[in-house]
Amino acid sequence: MPLTPRTLNNCEALDGQDPLAGLRAQFSLPEGVIYLDGNSLGPLPLATPGRIAQTLNEEWGKGLITSWNTAGWLDLPQQVGDKIARLIGAHPGEVVAADSTSINLYKILSAALNIAADDPRRTAIVSERGNFPTDLYIAQSLCRDRGLTLHLVERDELDAALRDDVAVLMLTHVDYRTGTMHDMAALCAQAHEAGMLTVWDLAHSAGAVPVDLHAAGADFAVGCGYKYLNGGPGAPAFLWMNPRHADRIRQPLTGWWGHAAPFAFTTDYIPAAGVNGFQSGTPSILGLAALDCGLDTLLAAEGLGGMVALRRKSLALTSLFMALVQERLQGHGFAIATPADETRRGSQVSLTRAEGAWAIMQALIERGVIGDFRAGDGKHQHDILRFGFAPLYIGHADVWQAVDQLHQVMQSGQWREARFAQRHAVT
């Protein structure tokens, strides 16, 4: 019978049996730190400094401009994109790594609206009221410029919102606050039956949960490279387009890198074929090199079961965390905002509390357990303590010790010390 992971000894035994445990050695993680914030910024892969040094010293330093050809810089957005494709159910040549999530969303959402404009009845974008703010800001901008309506609803109101005036359903697959995950395939089917297109933000999905864009029937997707993909702060983002839309695409940021022949230097713009036409300006080679290393940390799991195995471990870790919170933190005012249903949960667990969430997190970070804080909103009145569980480098014993430290913070009242109430610009 499997061990019940409710004691530290049992958790350590489970880690000893874990075939994925060796993947942790790919990362530079400070001694004594339990890093539960990979859903915000992934840790540094050990391979990245050497790769950056090579790109700087050899490719740029010695190869200079010739490295666009000799070091493969020209094709790096596609090569990195092909690695991402293996994590999100896309085919080779369908994903490109470029720009930021916000810029990519602007391009993709604009292209989707251009297609939908063939039907003049479709004058609205539907999204969740609690969607990640940058997604809503981009949608607000496009709606303002095009005279469209952005219709924001709660999650349980989505079915009723899919009306015949909607052009695009824009959703984030895994909610950044609570870790709640949508049924992508079901929502794509509903949206298509109602005659609209779907745009998905995979920022909290790619590298965290299995994603199969083709099987789900999605139309467009974007995502970032610095969370579960471990690409480093400000890493390039990515975008995907279902090939069935290739002949109908007109994107708004027609920069030279998205031209069919950028070094022909023609006056008129001719888009590159497929997703490559969504490139705009010159790519960040240093950023792409770092992201390439981050992706290799995930692809190293392919021989061990890949995303299926990572998902199995992720669910075990998040289930353990929730069980330990319920056992050890009763009476301390915490509630779990993340679904217990595994089919509706990403790779994070969010706790809510009416008072002191910021200070509690700061006290926990001082003890070496790093999560993060998100303020409440109209739907989530209480503030949120977020904990991400990346199975590449987190084990069962880490989970046990994290909850134990949180228990000590609460039992001792340490979080009430005035120094923990000081706010920082980044939360």
Q: Is residue 27 flagged as an active site residue?
A: no
pLDDT of residue 379: 66
Considering the domain architecture, whether residues 85 and 225 belong to the same structural domain is answered as yes
**Residue 91 is assigned to a structural domain of this protein:** yes
pLDDT of residue 111: 97
Q: Is residue 226 flagged as an active site residue?
A: yes
Considering the domain architecture, whether residues 333 and 285 belong to the same structural domain is answered as no
Catalytic residue among 27, 35, 226, 393: 226
Considering the domain architecture, whether residues 279 and 214 belong to the same structural domain is answered as yes
Considering the domain architecture, whether residues 115 and 231 belong to the same structural domain is answered as yes
Residue 155's domain is classified under what CATH number? Answer: 3.40.640.10
Query: Are the C-beta atoms of 29 and 35 separated by less than 8 Å?
Result: yes
Considering the domain architecture, whether residues 286 and 311 belong to the same structural domain is answered as no
Catalytic residue among 313, 353, 374, 386: 386
**Residue 54 is assigned to a structural domain of this protein:** no
**Residue 60 is assigned to a structural domain of this protein:** no
Catalytic residue among 18, 99, 175, 201: 201
Query: Are the C-beta atoms of 397 and 11 separated by less than 8 Å?
Result: yes
**Residue 55 is assigned to a structural domain of this protein:** no
Give the alpha-carbon dihedral of 302, 338, 16, 3, to 10 degrees: -120
Considering the domain architecture, whether residues 256 and 344 belong to the same structural domain is answered as no
Residue 204 lies in domain: 72-299
Catalytic residue among 27, 106, 132, 387: 132
Considering the domain architecture, whether residues 293 and 310 belong to the same structural domain is answered as no
Q: Is residue 269 flagged as an active site residue?
A: no
pLDDT mean for each 10 residues of the chain (427 residues): 71 97 98 97 98 98 98 98 98 98 98 95 96 97 98 95 96 97 98 97 98 98 98 98 94 96 96 96 98 98 97 98 96 97 97 96 98 82 94 98 98 96 88
Q: Is residue 386 flagged as an active site residue?
A: yes
Considering the domain architecture, whether residues 32 and 167 belong to the same structural domain is answered as no
Q: Is residue 132 flagged as an active site residue?
A: yes
SS (H, E, C) the chain: CCCCCCCHHHHHHHHHCCCCHHHHHHEECCCCCEECCCCCCCCEECHHHHHHHHHHHHHHCCCHHHHHHHCCHHHHHHHHHHHHHHHHCCCCCCEEECCCHHHHHHHHHHHHHHHHCCCCCCCEEEEECCCCHHHHHHHHHHHHHHCCEEEEECHHHHHHHCCCCEEEEEEECECCCCCEECCHHHHHHHHHHCCCEEEEECCCCCCCCCCCHHHHCCCEEEECCCCCCCCCCCCCCEEEECHHHHHHCCCCCCCHHHECCHHHCCCCCCECCHHHHHCCCCCCHHHHHHHHHHHHHHHCCHHHCHHHHHHHHHHHHHHHHHHHHHHHCCCCCCEECCCCCHHHECCEEEEEECCCHHHHHHHHHHCCEECEEECCCCCCCCEEEEEECCCCCCCHHHHHHHHHHHHHHHHHCHHHCHHHHCCCCCC
d(CA 296, CA 348): 22
**Residue 53 is assigned to a structural domain of this protein:** no
pLDDT of residue 427: 82
Catalytic residue among 24, 122, 227, 367: 227
Considering the domain architecture, whether residues 349 and 274 belong to the same structural domain is answered as no
pLDDT of residue 1: 34
**Residue 65 is assigned to a structural domain of this protein:** no
pLDDT of residue 378: 62
pLDDT of residue 403: 98
Residue 333's domain is classified under what CATH number? Answer: 3.90.1150.10
Q: Give how many domains the chain has, as a whole number.
A: 2
